[in-house]
Structure 1
Amino acid sequence: MSATAGTVEHAAAKGATAGSHAHSAPRLFPAVPEVGCVSAPAAAPTTPSGGPDPHCLDLGNVIALEHVNLEVPDLEVARLFYAEGLGLTADPGTTGQQRGGAHVVWYNCGRQQFHIARGPAPQRLPPGSVIGLVLPDVAGVAQRLEAVKQTLGDVSITYARGDTLEAVDPYGNTFSVHTSLPYFPGRAGVAYVQLPCFKGTAAAIASFYAQRMGARARVSEAGGSSGRSTTGGTMRAEVWLGPGSKLVFVEQPQLGAPTEEAVAALFDGWHVAIYVADFSRTYEAVHHPGRPPFNEHPYRDHYHSLSDAIHNRQFRFQDITAPLEKLPEGAEAYGGPAYGNEALVYRISHEVRALAHPLYGRPLYNREGGFA
């Protein structure tokens, strides 16, 4: 979210108060990642007999992806790409004040949004990342993007398959546009955000989301069996963020050793917003004892305790960590523990909302298909 609609910064003392961070072990979720085998985020999960995965519609504590937030230096360039090219709808149901100012535009994509804010420099997902969209008229998207390309120039358009289009925006972010995807609800939306991760970290990332956020998560080897790779194959972690929406992490050995500096360098400040059912437990589980809350952002929802987060109906965090004993041999390559006996393995800014958030379930108007 480019600005926190419906919330205000709640003044709170930084000392020990009810709901503040105690130096004790966090209360984790009992979930563990599933194991499986997939080849692409767009693949339909199946059983060995060829039938549908019986868990294909299951979710965990994370129940909805709300938006992806990116900063760009020119809102008109963004409008040409998102609205004129992709065909998304500038949200007509909010004012600039609700969005955080005239420098913020929300584009509806089914039940999800892109929050695009004017900033000093474009925010880019790591090289090799892909944002997967479901849009009903891929041929129409291609035609509109070709028209936009004549104006912007810096737009790449490629047909990966007959029903899938790959487009690169003027700032280098890649989008895969699908006519449909297995088990994706509705005619449009954000289906996945695929990101590169460091070799040996996919299982740890899946465990973090399962145990710290209660999310449904799966770790697999593309083309292999499951769990931790014994063949040196590429490992993948999938995290379900809601019906049909996932984060997908794919190990990339060329990233090198996941030192704290390398992990930080891979992140460019963008964020995702999600809704969780068990808000207090998620808050307790993701906050590492002795570490301050994440308030290094320009938005209004700063907090210092669970009480503040409850007041705001949301909180933010960005560091994904793993116990050193859960990491592969040679964990010293990770640059030493960043969080006591844990190490930083990935960084994404998360805006975590309670179901009592005032924007939860708000109908979003799409010019193709009406309200979603």
Structure 2
Amino acid sequence: MTKVACPWNRALESLGNSVELQHVNLRVPDQGKATAFYISALGLTRDPYLVVGIENMWANAGVSQFHLPTGPAQVLRGTTGLVLPDRAQLLHRLQTARRWLDGTRYGFEERDDHVAITCPWGNRIRAHAPDADRFGRIKLGMPYVEFDVAPGTLPGIVRFYQQIVQAPASIEDGVAKVLVAPGQHLTFRETDAQQPAFDGHHIQLAFVDFGGVHARLSERGLISQEDSQHQYRFIKIVDPDTGKLLFEVEHECRSMTHPLFMRKLVNRNPATTNQIYAPGAEAMAWAMPPE
């Protein structure tokens, strides 16, 4: 039989076991300021269907969300990366939002390849322009969540995600990268800076082999909470070779049979207002159009 030549690198399309980075969950003490920051300043979209009361907010960013329940402020020990489609409009919104957020930790600064933004309670965000070479076809979304970790922990973190989660993971340019969904990564960057104690914030992933990950975590005593038939949680990232604790962040783990798996999210076009309006221009596609 003649071997058919393949012109493509098929390995680039392999996802591994994690197939969804659905949300980052951070408590906020003030829903008004959270709206001013996540909706007015960043230009994200409040989910119109779920959690629409005053005690919580889900803010849509492409296929991912921020979950923002009311409570003592939580600060992610790292940085959330966003792709937002228009830098000039973003800067205008950020400047306008100062009127609501003065007196908080809110701030922003232009950098060469991103805008560095700090939320009213100290969470760091890097807002990038769409870039097919770096972020694929994402025009609006959350391409990565980056964590600040202690020196010497990257090899063990890579082993944890490779062996326990069974997600593709490697160290590239001094940063550990874990593929957790199409075009989305968890990244880990070593720092000498003293880190605050873990305050309970979480991220949410979905697994193909939901039961397999649970079994591997359970045999090491790492399951922290059993939520439902479709969901469990763990906090500790350990070196599978030694059991040494490397980092803590809560992972909300869902199955692909979870009722919310890959729920389609509404994303608005923040450039459309009642003053500048065109029929049919209210919605925004999260991905770049076909070439």
TM-score normalised by the shorter chain: which range applies?
0.7 to 0.9
State the shift of 1:93 in Å: 1.9
Change in CA separation of 1:149 and 1:238 when aligned onto 2, cut-off 3 Å: same
Preserved contact between residue 56 and residue 183 of structure 1 (Cα < 8 Å):
no
The structure 2 residue matched to 1:270, chosen from 198, 201, 204, is 201
1:122 has 2:77 as partner: no
Number of residue equivalences: 262
Is the CA contact 1:106–1:116 (under 8 Å) kept in the aligned structure 2? Answer: yes
Distance 1:54 1:114, change over 3 A: same
Structure 1 stretches (4+) deviating beyond 6 angstroms?
A: none
Seen in structure 2, the aligned counterparts of structure 1 residues 253 and 55 have a Cα distance that, compared at 3 Å, is farther
Gaps of 5+ in 1: 1-51, 223-234, 256-261, 296-301, 304-308, 327-340
Structure 1 contact 112–189 (Cα < 8 Å) conserved: yes
Once the two structures are superposed, the pairs formed by residues 86-235 of structure 1 within 5 Å of their partners are 86-96=42-52, 102-119=54-71, 121-126=72-77, 129-153=78-102, 154=104, 155-161=106-112, 164-181=114-131, 182-220=134-172, 222=173, 235=174
Q: Using CA pairs under 8 Å that are at least 6 residues apart, name the structure with larger relative contact order, 1 or 2.
A: 1
8 Å CA contact 2:24, 2:203 repeated in 1: yes
Alpha-carbon distance in 1 for matches of 2:143, 2:67: 16
Aligned partner of residue 238 in structure 2, secondary structure: strand
Per-residue CA deviations over 1:284-334 (Å, capped at 9, x if unaligned) read 112244x37413xxxxxx45xxxxx5x2x11111111114xx5xxxxxxxx
Which residue is 1:316 aligned to?
233
Q: Does the alignment pair 1:240 with 2:179?
A: yes
Shift of 1:253: 3.1
Give the conservation status (yes or no) of the 8 Å contact 2:214–2:223: no
Distance 1:56 1:160, change over 3 A: farther
TM-score, normalising length: structure 2: 0.83
Aligned-partner Cα distance in 2 for 1:95–1:183: 29
1:267 Cα deviation from its structure 2 partner? 1.7
Distance in structure 2 (CA, Å) of the matches to 1:197 and 1:356: 33
Q: 1:215 to 1:80 in 2, by over 3 A?
A: same
Letter in 2 for 1:175: I
Counterpart secondary structure, 1:157: strand
CA displacement 1:115-138 (0-9 Å, x = unmatched): 00100x210122xx2211011112
Q: Quote the Cα distance in structure 2 between the aligned partners of 1:200 and 1:288.
A: 25
Q: CA RMSD in A?
A: 2.1
Q: What is the TM-score normalised by the length of structure 1?
A: 0.66
Instruction: Specify the alignment match of 2:245 in structure 1.
Output: 344
